[in-house]
Homo-oligomer: A and B are copies of this chain.
Amino acid sequence: MIVTVTLNTALDLTYRVPALTPHASHRVTQVIERPGGKGLNVARVLAALGHETVATGFAGGATGATLRDQLAATPVRDELVETAGTTRRTVAVVDTASGDTTQLNEPGPTVTAAEWNAFRARFTELLDGARAVALCGSLPPGIHVGAYAELIRLARTAGVPVLLDTSGEPLRRGIAARPDLVKPNADELAQLTGAREPHRATRDARRRGARAVVSSLGPEGMLAATPEGLWRATPPAAVKGNPTGAGDSAVAGLLSGLVDDAPWPERLTRAVALSAATVLSPVAGEFDAPAYEELLTRVTVTAETP
């Protein structure tokens, strides 16, 4: 099984309005509600690919209960730890005309020391039997900035490959704990390394401690620096659509390839194809399964010289 960790889960609401006008009143024409937070998105895609998937992290209060009800309707196994605080909501307001999105994110509850200890115990139990672990998204209030580094050390001790997908200081500290894989986007990479040129920044990030770095370059695909070599993976053409969740789908593709012991070019092909198939899907964060199958045959992977 694959374990995904979402410390800062959210109940994601998507509101459609004709066009958002500040200081006006709007009738929402469509409401979509679903379990959110990057790790839960990754888990949903992994489960759709047929992988046995477990989601852990925190959930609490009325919104946490709604999130867990909705998770129960998916093949993802719920191993979330209860918090006294109430799970946050995020609201994505989508203008129907332009497709542009305005995002409102609640801060989320503070996690107590006792809750963090309960989570660590649950995480350690789940490592027994895990084929891979993904640590995804931001840290909620109350959790120390070295939390991902701590979880990476636990996974390494248990011999379970670990992927980290976060940003800022938690990414910097996490990399130093030597995860097997990090998946920054261009902004996260630049923030981490100070370098804007993707090849240089990707290699710099790897020198900080990650066994492999896969940088997502948006519509231009991905760049991978690994012990086996450097690769660039490119989708057949720029795809148009909603990029929400494309990065999480890429993480799912990388994990899927990892647990199947696929060579790097195959892992990158899955990641780029899933990412593009997510942009193409009419529902934000879902992927278009026929498009994914078709894209798998059309992603280009080229080895690059260091």
Assembly CA distance A293 to B133 (angstroms): 62
Contacts of A17 in B (CB 8 A): 104
Q: Which of A19-27, A168-176, A214-222 contacts B (4 or more CB under 8 A)?
A: A19-27
Return A244 CB to nearest CB of chain B, in Å. Answer: 12
The answer to whether B26 and A106 have CB atoms under 8 Å apart is: no
Is A105 located at the chain interface by the 8 A CB criterion? Answer: yes
The answer to whether A31 and B106 have CB atoms under 8 Å apart is: yes
Contacts of A104 in B (CB 8 A): 15, 17, 26, 28, 91, 93
The answer to whether B101 and A31 have CB atoms under 8 Å apart is: no
Copies of the chain in the assembly: 2
B-contact bits for A99-129, CB 8 A (1 contact / 0 none) = 0111111110000000000000000000000
Closest chain B residue to A15 by CB distance? B104
Assembly CA distance A62 to B13 (angstroms): 14
The answer to whether A23 and B100 have CB atoms under 8 Å apart is: yes
Contacts of A106 in B (CB 8 A): 15, 28, 31
Residues A1-56 near B (CB distance < 8 A): 13, 15, 17, 20-29, 31
Contacts of A193 in B (CB 8 A): none
The answer to whether B26 and A103 have CB atoms under 8 Å apart is: yes
The answer to whether A29 and B107 have CB atoms under 8 Å apart is: yes
Contacts of A20 in B (CB 8 A): 22-23, 102
Assembly CA distance A25 to B23 (angstroms): 17
Residue from the set A13, A24, A28, A66 with the largest chain B CB neighbour count within 10 Å:
A28
Assembly CA distance A21 to B131 (angstroms): 43
Contacts of A24 in B (CB 8 A): 102-103
Assembly CA distance A240 to B65 (angstroms): 40
Assembly CA distance A21 to B23 (angstroms): 11
Closest chain B residue to A92 by CB distance? B25
What are 29 contact pairs spanning A and B, CB under 8 A? Answer: A15-B91, A15-B104, A15-B106, A17-B104, A20-B23, A20-B102, A21-B22, A21-B102, A22-B100, A22-B102, A23-B100, A23-B101, A23-B102, A24-B103, A25-B102, A25-B103, A25-B105, A26-B103, A27-B105, A27-B107, A28-B104, A28-B106, A28-B107, A29-B107, A31-B107, A62-B62, A62-B66, A91-B104, A93-B104
Instruction: Report the 4 A-B pairs with minimum CB-CB distance, sorted nearest first.
Output: A25-B103, A23-B100, A62-B66, A20-B22
